[in-house]
Amino acid sequence: MKKMNFLLAATIAASLMTVACKKKTETQTVYVDNTPPAPAPSLYTRLGGIGPITAVVDKFIGNCATNSFIGPRFSATAADSYRLKYFRYNLIDQICAGSGGPCQYKGQTMLAAHTGMNITGPEFDTLVVQLVKAMTFYNVPAQEQGDLASILLPMKTDIVGH
Ligand code: HEM
């Protein structure tokens, strides 16, 4: 009986030690209020949402239309209120959706929209400068300017030279 008790005690001690050792090696994140940290805000949120995006797009379109180099590219669009309206909506949706906002871009692919225009590299770069000017006008911080530019710049291959 004594032997049995000793064996039982030894088994319990061994399993307690295993638990204790396991506890020591396990790492566990403990949140003080039981909630994990909120995910980093999307670029859409950091830009301020649809209002500020719309303001930037309007300024951007105005900058492009009045730019001496690329302005002529947009003269037919500016002269047709229906065309201008949908171009504007498409740009807003594209930036909203691309930055993680609740919009859906319903326009053409960048390749389809710009095929037949033979847009050049310098024209593309000039258009990007107009966007940067619009963002700077509305005090968009450098981080967000860079983040939006890095969403749009990869589109260059679908837009230039087709
Ligand atoms: C990252 C750069 C660019 C973006 C994100 C962009 C975006 C767009 C979008 C969303 C549309 C509308 C597509 C549709 O109708 O379904 C469009 C059309 C157009 N884009 Fe671009 N574009 C870019 C570069 C350029 C450049 C460099 C030019 C010329 C200098 C240009 C000229 C035009 C013109 C003329 C239209 C047709 C507008 C109309 O419907 O009347 N785009 N672009």
> Tens digit of pLDDT for each residue in 20-65?
444 445 677 777 778 888 889 999 999 999 999 999 999 999 999 9
| Residue owning the nearest CA to atom 17 of ligand 1 | 113
Q: Is the pLDDT of residue 5 over 80?
A: no
Query: How is the chain split into domains, by residue range?
Result: 43-159
Which residue has a Cα nearest atom 18 of ligand 1? Answer: 113
**What does 124-155 look like in DSSP terms, one character per residue?**
HHHHHHHHHHHHHHTT--HHHHHHHHHHHGGG
Q: Is the model's pLDDT at 149 over the cut of 50? A: yes
Ligand 1 center from residue 20 Cα (angstroms): 64
Question: What ligand 1 atom has the least distance to the C-alpha of 74?
Answer: 35
- In terms of Cβ atoms closer than 10 Å to its own Cβ (0-12, 13-18, 19+), residue 94 is buried
Instruction: Find out if CATH 3.60.21.10 is the number for domain 43-159.
Output: no
Which atom in ligand 1 lies closest to the alpha carbon of residue 155?
1
The tokens for 112 are 């389809």
Q: What is the pLDDT of residues 84-128, one digit of tens each?
A: 999 999 999 999 999 999 999 999 999 999 999 999 999 999 999
Please work out whether the CB of residue 65 comes within 6 Å of at least one atom of ligand 1.
no
Whose CA is closest to atom 41 on ligand 1?
77
pLDDT at 31: 72
